[in-house]
A and B are shown apart, each in its own frame.
Chain A
Amino acid sequence: MNTPTEPTQNNRIDRSKNHGQIQLSWAFALALTLVGSSALNKFIVAENTLWIWVVGSVPFLISFGALKAYLDYLKFADELTKQIELEALAFGYGAGMIFGIGYLAVAPGITQFDAGRWVIVMITMVMIVVRIVFLMRGHRKYR
């Protein structure tokens, strides 16, 4: 039996796990700052001040780090993990789109122009929840 020509020792898998943990930490930080900055802006920071923008921009800036961490995780993930992630992202995005279009089609008196921020929040939630469901399904399927 041949030994592989490349140095392996599962370096990729170890790095993938490390990047997975880093990515989770960024996602957690993003969720915390999103909730934290919303609460600060709602209850503490006075309206029409510079602080409302400063506080509000923190999760926005952290989201770049979270995105970079996720891309690094995908870069080092093995091919089956990439496939599971891709399927989950596709189903999440598709479900969000279908929900958004369907909601606007059936909700009485709402058009694309006056749908309001709650529709965006709901679409985002549908995307996140469906992605998580399909990630779990993928990992079960290929276990």
Chain B
Amino acid sequence: MKNHLRVLRAQHELSQATLADKLDVSRQTINAIETGKYDPSLPLAFKIARLFEQSIEQIFDDES
């Protein structure tokens, strides 16, 4: 599943470690999501969407 997490993180000038801190996950998890190797759980996807004030569909794209 593709996502725009890396772009959003860059726009907000956050490092992977800082974003991981905010989401209460490991930096490894953020990296795995950004590279598309790992799809986050629904609670984590909601957390990400809430943090960046966007909908899940705006961040994650399951059709590409």
Chain A window 1-22, contacts with chain B (Cβ cutoff 8 Å), 1 for yes, 0 for no:
1111110111111001000000
- Please classify how large the interface on chain A is, using the bins under 10, 10 to 19, 20 to 34, 35 or more: 20 to 34
Chain B residues touching A, majority SS = helix
A8 touches B51 (CB 8 A): no
Tell me if A8 and B28 are in contact (CB < 8 A).
Answer: no
Q: Is the CB of B20 within 8 A of A83?
A: no
A12 pairs with B31, CB closer than 8 A: no
Give the tally of cross-chain contacts (CB within 8 A).
63
Contact indicator per residue, chain A 38-52, by CB within 8 Å of chain B (1) or not (0): 000000000000000
| Chain B hits for A80, CB < 8 A | 25-26, 28-29, 32, 38
Q: Are B26 and A81 in contact (CB under 8 A)?
A: yes
Give the interface size class of chain B.
Answer: 20 to 34
* B25 in contact with A1 (CB, 8 Å): no
Flag if B32 contacts A142 (CB, 8 Å): yes
Most buried by B among A5, A13, A139: A13
Distance, CA A83 to CA B41, complexed state (A): 11
Contact of B50 among A5, A8, A79 (CB under 8 A): A5
* Contact residues, B6-64 vs A (CB, 8 A): 12, 20-26, 28-29, 31-32, 37-38, 40-41, 44, 47, 50-53
B interface residues, Cβ below 8 angstroms from A: 12, 20-26, 28-29, 31-32, 37-38, 40-41, 44, 47, 50-53
